[in-house]
């Protein structure tokens, strides 16, 4: 299938769109990716399944997602379920409705079980899907630092905009969170790289470290504001203390 996919056309569908497609069902997908077949109109929907247990109804759910997406777009759709379980297992790839006198429906979808994939086979495939999914492939504890280094090198080569970089880094770090010691070892290894690439990877690292610190500071500020409100302090007084408008205080307190 790989040679038929147009990786130049690639977008991450929003959670709002997915909620609309599934008619408000209480299910959150980790990643929903849209791309196209070369030379053809149509969609390839890549659905990341991240449950830690086997769900017998998943093939049925995959059929329902497919049906609603087809109803919405009325075009060719290639459904792919990417399983990211921590344990290796064999997954079903079809949904069938049968009656005693014959089959009513046979729906088939493609499956990829990430833990069966060696991450090193994908680090030279420069597309965002491969970069995002490295964190759920088969790797050992001793490979975690090298895994993140190669992930960052992929991001540099991909030259994505900041929004896509943020999405991919957030997804990656959900599953591969290095300790402070490991982060320092990673930085040491990056410093051994060739000059140009080293500068680009370090810039990426520093940018997201600074962003993380800013987000942490904002979170502490929000918590302080909420505690002040809980103790009966007025919004006007809180705005004065933090040198903000009352509208800004309301907004920050509501932000998650």
| Mean pLDDT, residues 1-13 taken together | 67
More confident position, 55 or 193: 193
| Mean pLDDT for the stretch of residues 195-224 | 76
Structure tokens at 45: 């929907």
Q: How far apart are CA 211 and CA 88, in angstroms?
A: 35
pLDDT of 27 > 70? The answer is no
33-51 tens-digit pLDDT = 677 777 776 666 666 655 5
Given a cut of 50, is residue 116 above it in pLDDT?
A: yes
Higher-pLDDT residue of 115, 27: 115
Reported as a pLDDT band with limits 50, 70 and 90, residue 256 is low
**From CA 110, how far away is CA 152, in angstroms rounded?**
28
User: What pLDDT digit, counting tens, does each position of 76-102 carry?
Assistant: 777 878 777 766 677 788 999 999 998
Higher pLDDT among residues 222 and 10, named by residue:
222
Cα separation, 101 vs 52, whole angstroms: 37
Structure tokens at 210: 């600074």
pLDDT the model gives residue 48: 62
Strand runs labelled E in the chain: 5-12, 32-37, 43-49, 77-83, 94-99, 102-108, 110-113
Beta bridge partners of 103: 98
Q: Is the pLDDT of residue 159 over 70?
A: yes
User: Residue 23 has what pLDDT?
Assistant: 43
Distance (Å, rounded) from C-alpha 204 to C-alpha 193? Answer: 14
Domain regions of the chain by residue span: 1-116, 118-192, 215-254
Q: Point out which residues pair with 34 in neighbouring strands.
A: 11, 45
Question: Rounded to an integer, what distance in angstroms lies between the CA atom of residue 110 and that of residue 194?
Answer: 40
Q: Is pLDDT of 127 > 70?
A: yes
Query: Residue 160: is its pLDDT beyond 70?
Result: yes
């Amino acid at each position: 299938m790989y040679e038929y996919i147009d990786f130049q056309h690639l977008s991450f569908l929003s959670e709002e769109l997915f909620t609309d497609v599934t008619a408000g069902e209480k299910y959150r997908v980790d990643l929903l990716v849209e791309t196209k077949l070369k030379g053809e109109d149509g969609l390839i929907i890549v659905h990341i399944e991240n449950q830690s247990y086997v769900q017998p109804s998943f093939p049925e759910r995959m059929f329902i997602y497919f049906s609603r997406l087809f109803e919405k777009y009325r075009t060719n759709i290639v459904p792919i379920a990417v399983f990211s379980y921590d344990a290796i297992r064999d997954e079903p790839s079809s949904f069938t409705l049968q009656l005693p006198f014959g089959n009513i429906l046979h729906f088939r979808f493609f499956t990829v079980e990430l833990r069966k994939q060696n991450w090193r086979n994908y680090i030279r495939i420069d597309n965002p899907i491969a970069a995002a999914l490295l964190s759920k492939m088969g790797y050992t504890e001793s490979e975690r630092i090298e895994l993140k280094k190669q992930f960052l090198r992929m991001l540099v080569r991909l030259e994505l905009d900041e929004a896509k970089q943020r999405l991919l880094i957030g997804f990656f770090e959900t599953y591969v969170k290095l300790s402070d010691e490991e982060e320092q070892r990673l930085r040491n290894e990056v410093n051994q790289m060739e000059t140009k690439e080293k500068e680009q990877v370090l810039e990426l690292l520093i940018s997201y470290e600074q962003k993380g610190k800013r987000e942490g500071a904002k979170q502490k500020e929000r918590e302080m504001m909420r505690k002040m409100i809980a103790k009966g302090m007025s919004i006007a007084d809180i705005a004065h203390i933090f040198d903000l408008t009352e509208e800004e205080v309301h907004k920050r307190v509501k932000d998650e």
